[in-house]
Chain A
Amino acid sequence: MSDDRAHSPSRILPREQGAAPLDLVIAVMAFLAALALGASFLTERAAMSWRLGLSNRMTVQIVPPPKGDTDSMMANETAAVLRVLGDWPGIVHAHALTQDETDRLVEPWLGKNALIPELPLPRLIDATTSPSASVDLSGLARALARAAPHAVLDDHSRWIGRLKALADTIIWSAYGILALIAIATAAIVSFATRAGLEAHHDMVQLLHQMGAQSGFIARAFEWHHFLSALLAGLIGAGASALLFVFAGGLESVGIEAVPFLPPLALRANELLWLLAVPASAALIALVTARLSVLSALREIY
């Protein structure tokens, strides 16, 4: 007589009318959270590449004097600097940048057709140090000052320190934004659950009267909000992932990113990490709804 296939237990809690705005808010939250998470990945990757690019490197600048025979003075001082660097313990390679290489360095800021030859650009000497050696930087600075009075030694430590501080600030700001979004999501779900309890007061009373444990009633609400938040979170994080993929596509067709800023494309494993956003949103919704319902049920006799 009975055909189990004909009946599947319906959801105890009906799909709420007017739940779309809540889903929309959670989707927007998930979108912003995924953007913040993606930004933290990009910044961390950029900071790593900056550090790798500048560690074990130092630069000597020979600043052109305001007057006099600039070209011959700079050539002499360049040769003197290369000699000092070549003899200095711990330095494995030193190379004076050609005029073309220097022009290319300033090109992103000044453009190709700028009057670069007219500008008093310094000569740059790039030196590579041995990773295992400890270089006496203060001694080297003194030796360079004696051999070439217009030479300035830059070991990039200040620059690396600032970049690291900037990257850390961005990353921790992203984490802060994620935390704020999580709190806001919990507050919204808590409010929605309370509203749901009010809207379904008669149903909750009935279940309570029929001997349902608080956990049974809470499960009806928590799964409802879990599934809603999961779906909304997937939509929001998915939109964010599409945005990152689109930005990566722009770079691949030659639309350049701003110099020094990291590329905006996320790698595949980083895109997968964005799935943590809907999972977290669903988990936050589940826990918040459960706690809200249990708290409200304690007020019923």
Chain B
Amino acid sequence: MWRLLHVIAIAALIGSAAYVYSVKYQTIYASEQIVKTRHQIAKERDAINLLRAEFAHLTRPDRLQALADAQLDMQPLALGQIVKADDLPDHAPKVDSIGRKLESLSLLGDSATPSAGLTGATPAVR
């Protein structure tokens, strides 16, 4: 009886020690990971900052202007090209121009769909 209790106690001792060790090493590992991640975040932040600076440098107005002058076939904005939204002309009434064309050619009948071979680019018989 006592011997069994001793064995159980020793086993519990070893078990709890092992558990404590595993928890401890997990903690150390986790804190290492935190430090690493923090470094990673700081690095990424620096990289983002560098990219922001680079973007600002590449999109600086004098560079864009020089590139636009050299590469694009565009004119400087004339004041006459600026209009208010109210000054835009109203939409023209919607017109089915293709339908009207067909109508004027009197092709828009009941059997408006032309049969193959009569129209179209590809002749039915070679």
A and B physically associate: no
Interface residues of B (CB under 8 A from A): none
Interface residues of A (CB under 8 A from B): none
